[in-house]
Structures are given as structure tokens and as C-alpha cells.
Structure 1
């Protein structure tokens, strides 16, 4: 067993590929421990690579709008502008800045959710969803999408602001990736799952559904809402759900669109 100590002590970021790989026909406690350490290292590598990809993607997402901002500023400083050109330039700068704000805000929420919840209090999920639906009625109408809901009493333990963000992201995505004349339906309570959001829209290949919950993943097809986004919406939904000890799944609907189901621990009514 002492032979294992220096081997583990050498493991670090520079050699995450190192494995003990205890072989042979031995099936004792030492071999079992070696196999467990190797499995642990595989999980650490997966997490490390995930964080590395996330950092690289976040840097790329920030670099592009920052480069656009720099170009717009250099254009404005390089030559006299007419009133019309000045108005256009400032509008473009504001739009780019708003995109950066959405990205940073999304990264902060994602980080907060990944840290877990220090305190969980009873929250009326149906009341949270009712507020989100009411706040998005005008947006849905402007997009030509019918937004409906069926909200039954449902109490979960968690954090109200994060739960509101979870429902908001699902509703916003359901409206954005839809089509004029389409529909979004939000259901809360009445059993498991505690929350569902179903929407019409473009066809989603079944193999692509799981990838939508990864940071910075977007469907390549057209959408009716061009307000922009950082590709963090469903990644945040997953992190918030996990922070509440719940699960979230998505299914491609026949004819297009998604059905997203969120299961959360409930409180007796």
C-alpha cells in the first residue's frame, strides 16, 4: 500500500493522464483501490477538460463583440460623422455592449448555480411560473406565438431568484426558437414532472438534444427572435436544476420543437 503514496503524490495538472493500471489476475483490496483511483482520475480529467473548453468558449464569445466594439470606436474616431452616422454607430455600440452584459450575467448565474444552494426555502413554483408567463405575454404576441399555461399549486424547496431564472430561460428559448403561428405551453404541478415547457418550432435532431444543455451550444437553424444570446440558456437551466437536487430532460417533439421536463423535490401542500 505504501508504494501507492509516491505515485499519487506525483499526479498534477502536468500529468493528468497518469494511471496506475493494476493488472494481472489479482483481485484483492489493493487492486480494487488502484482501479478506484484510476476511475477517479478519469472523472477529474473529464471535469478539467470541460472547464478548459468552457473557458476557451467564453473567451471566444467575449472576443468577438469586443473586437466589434473596438472597430466601431476606431471608425468613429477616424473621421467626422454625420448625425445619421453617429446615431447608427452609437446604436451598434449599445447593441454590442448589451450582448456582453447578457453573456457576463449568464456566466455569473451559471457560476452561482454550480456552487449549489446554501439555503433552501419552500417556494411556490406555480406562482414563480405565473409571473414569468405574464412578463412574456407581450414578447410572445410580438413574435406571433401563442403562450398558454396550466399552473397547479406546487411547492418546492429552493431559491426563488434562481427558480425564476430557470423558468424564464425555458420560456424565452421556447419563444425564440419557434415560428409565427406557433405555441408555447407551460405546465406546473399535478404530479411529476413538476414543470414542463413545450413549444412548436424547428425540427431538432434527436442526437442534438443533449448537446443543447452544453454551454455555448445553439441550434443552427433560423429563429424568430433575433435579440441575440450567449448560448447559455439551457446550460443555466441544467445547473439551476442540479443545484435544487432535480433533473431536467428534453425531448424532440414530432413536427418540431421541444418538450422540456424539470423534476424537483417537492413539499407537501
Structure 2
């Protein structure tokens, strides 16, 4: 049998009730007798069990005070010990939670017994620890992936520099080497910029203002239209006027990442459709390659890229949709992606209404 705090409390009440009753009866009698004696110099000898400790014929006020102090101290001590016994399961949970850390992510309470308040608290703590463990693991994976992504271009730079130092280069070789170093540095800049944006969006929205989402989307779409046309893509927009609450730079980055991915992962002669409706739903869809449905959720993870041909070989760093998800979460929005069986991906961001 599991002694939950509720059961322990019931046992404590049943056990202490008779003692508490007798203690109160005796304490009240002793206090009344002491006050009466101090006023009149004597007490009434009415009989009763409380007079067994300090009889009326030889009543001692000093003994009465000592009895009250000692009895009260013992009662407080007993109540404290009993309270600790009742709440021991809660203390045990606190100790277990205190041991939780990066090296003990699998630690859980796994409470048993009846489904009372304590069991619900333990289950809630286990759920919270599950989320913390997922966060720790995601942070570890992110750090490992970021280190790998940074290590690769740095190794490339080192190799190129070693080649330039090992022998004399012609003008064409020097130009080629310089372009390769410049491309590697540009990729590093994009990666660092993506990491900083991701960190900023994870921090949340610090200053909110009411913004016209349709205007932001129109401006960003106009910036991406020349790139889409150069790739032979048709970029269409259907924008209904709607307002959202948030930070303009972050929202611009969210729309830019969606459009950049829709253009980059597309097919020759394809299309990109951007819609904003009055309910605050932003949808960006394209006619890109076919994506298996089971891989769609993974596209929002850091440094995940779909293999296959790209129309734009700009060297993405695999943080585009991760940043989209983070910015959307900071604005209280929900992101959903759906693969089109005929090819392409549709991403919808649902913003909450402005209050």
C-alpha cells in the first residue's frame, strides 16, 4: 500500500485528534487555574483528570507555567514531525527533481498509487521533465550541427590557403582561389547571420506593434520577383488586408525565408504562389520536387536540407525553415507544412488575431 500525502494526512488526523482534545482540555484548565490563583490566591477543587498533574490543594503556579511551556513545546515538536511525515512524498519529489540535469536527463518520478493530487503533480513534473529533456537534446544536436557546419568551410579555407602557399600560382589560379575563398566566407556569413537571427527569435518579441501583414508580404515578394523571373518562375500574390502584432524585421525575415525556399527548391517553368487572407493566414506554396510526407516535419529541424537539384545554387545553410518556425512561435503563430503529391511544398503560418 502506497502512503500518499492524502492518506498520511487522514492517518495523522485520526491519531492526533484524541491527544489534541486532551491537550486542549488540560491546557485550558491550567491557564484558567493559573489566572484564578494569581487573582485570588487559591483555586477551586472541582475534581477532574486535569488536576492530577497539579492538585488544587498544593497548586504551584511555577509548576503550572513549566507544564504549559514543556507541553506546548512537545506538542509543537510532535506536530512538526507529523507534518514532515505527511509531506515526505513531496520532499522526495523535490529531491528527485533537484538531481535532474544534463547528465541525468532520463530521471523521472514515476509515481505510483492512486490518482490523487500528488499523483497528478508527479505526472505533471514528469511531463515537464520530458520537455526539458527534449530541449536539452535539441540544444546538443543544434550545437553539434552548428560546429560541423562551421568546421567544413573553415577546413576548406585552410586547404585553399595551404594550396596558395605551397606553390606559385598563375593569375587565373589566383583568381579562382580568391573566388572560392570569397564564396566560403559568404557562406560563413550567412550561417552566422542565421544563427544570430535564430537566437533573436528564440528570445521572443521584445517590442510589439500593429503591422499590415499584406504590405510586408508585398514588399518582400517584390524583392524576390526578379530572382524568380531569372529562374523562369511565375511568382503570384493574392493579398487581403490584415493586421498582425509583432516586430517588422522578424516578420520580414519569416516571409523572406519562405519565398527564398520556394524559389530555390523549384522546377524550371514552375510557380510560387503567395496568399494572405483576412484570417491572418500566410501561405507560400511552390511546384518544387516531390517530398515524401514523412520527411516534411524534419524540414523544420536545423541544418536539414532536401537532396536534389536546385534552381538557385546560393549555398543555403539549412536554417531557413527553422528560423521561420522560431519567429512564428515568438509571435504566437502556428506553422504547418504540407507536401503536394504532385510535387512542391505548401507552408502556412496562422497568426493570432490582434487584440
Q: State TM-score, norm by structure 1.
A: 0.95
Aligned residues: 266
**Alpha-carbon contact 1:177-1:224 (below 8 Å) kept:** yes
Shift of 1:226: 0.8
1:149 matched to 2:237? The reply is yes
**Alpha-carbon contact 2:296-2:338 (below 8 Å) kept:** yes
1:132 matched to 2:220? The reply is yes
Q: Which residue of 2 aligns with 1:238?
A: 325
Partner of 1:157: helix, strand, or coil? strand
**CA distance in 1: counterparts of 2:264 and 2:330, whole angstroms:** 26
Q: Which residue of 2 aligns with 1:211?
A: 298
1:94 matched to 2:182? The reply is yes
**CA distance in 1: counterparts of 2:129 and 2:180, whole angstroms:** 47
Partner of 1:136: helix, strand, or coil? helix
Q: 1:59 aligns with which of 118, 142, 147?
A: 147
Q: Specify the structure having the higher radius of gyration (Cα).
A: 2
Q: String of CA shifts for 1:142-161, please: whole Å, max 9, x gaps.
A: 11111111122111111111
Q: String of CA shifts for 1:171-197, please: whole Å, max 9, x gaps.
A: 11000000110000111233352x111
Higher helix content, 1 or 2: 2
Q: 1:167 aligns with which of 255, 265, 271?
A: 255
**Alpha-carbon contact 2:244-2:280 (below 8 Å) kept:** no
Q: Which residue of 2 aligns with 1:7?
A: 96
Q: Which residue of 2 aligns with 1:265?
A: 352
Partner of 1:126: helix, strand, or coil? helix
Structure 2: runs of 5 or more not aligned:
1-89
Q: Which residue of 2 aligns with 1:189?
A: 277
Shift of 1:27: 2.5
Q: 2:309 aligns with which of 202, 215, 222?
A: 222
Partner of 2:183: helix, strand, or coil? helix
Q: Which moved more, 1:82-91 or 1:141-150?
A: 141-150
Q: String of CA shifts for 1:66-89, please: whole Å, max 9, x gaps.
A: 100000011111111111110000
**CA distance in 1: counterparts of 2:346 and 2:323, whole angstroms:** 17
Shift of 1:215: 0.8
Point out which structure has higher relative CO (alpha carbons under 8 A, 6+ apart): 1
Q: Which residue of 1 aligns with 2:17?
A: none
**CA distance in 1: counterparts of 2:256 and 2:101, whole angstroms:** 40
**CA distance in 2: counterparts of 1:58 and 1:11, whole angstroms:** 26
**Alpha-carbon contact 1:154-1:266 (below 8 Å) kept:** no
Q: 2:195 aligns with which of 90, 93, 107?
A: 107
Q: String of CA shifts for 1:37-71, please: whole Å, max 9, x gaps.
A: 22221111111001000100111111100100000
Structure 1: runs of 5 or more not aligned:
none
Shift of 1:125: 1.0
Q: Which residue of 2 aligns with 1:68?
A: 156
Partner of 1:108: helix, strand, or coil? helix
**CA distance in 1: counterparts of 2:115 and 2:275, whole angstroms:** 52
Partner of 1:148: helix, strand, or coil? strand
Shift of 1:127: 1.1
**CA distance in 2: counterparts of 1:106 and 1:74, whole angstroms:** 29
Alpha carbons of structure 1 residues 125 and 192: separation in structure 2 relative to 1, 3 Å: closer
Q: State TM-score, norm by structure 2.
A: 0.72
Shift of 1:19: 1.8
Q: Which residue of 2 aligns with 1:256?
A: 343
